[in-house]
Amino acid sequence: MAHALDNIFKFYSKQHIQQNLGFEELQEQMNQMDLGEFIAFAKDFSVGLDKRIVAEVFKKVSRSQKPLKDYQFQIAL
């Protein structure tokens, strides 16, 4: 199960990559999921919660409203 969640996290965390980043910044950004990616995940998997509730879950798990790391994504689920 953990492997499947890792794959899902990796897929969605790469949806909004900024241009002109250095290698380290790019690597870091590809290993975190922002709110938009989290909402896209919830929509694609038909989570069945209102977008506002999905955002609230994200904000409760996130540290200072920053993108989620893989372990935070699993906690949110």
Query: What pLDDT, in 10s, does the model give residues 19-60?
Result: 776 767 767 766 889 999 999 999 999 999 999 999 999 999
Burial class (CB in 10 A: 0-12, 13-18, 19+), 70: middle
Angle among Cα 63, 30, 18 to the nearest 5 degrees reads 95
| The residue count for the chain | 77
| Residue 16 within a domain | no
What pTM did the predictor assign? 0.82
CA dihedral of 54, 52, 43, 15, whole degrees rounded to 10: -80
Burial class (CB in 10 A: 0-12, 13-18, 19+), 23: exposed
Determine the pLDDT at residue 3.
86
* Number of domains present in the structure of the chain: 1
Query: Is 51 part of any domain?
Result: yes
User: Position 27: which residue type?
Assistant: Q
Establish if 42 belongs to a structural domain: yes
Q: Give the domain extent around 40.
A: 2-11+21-76
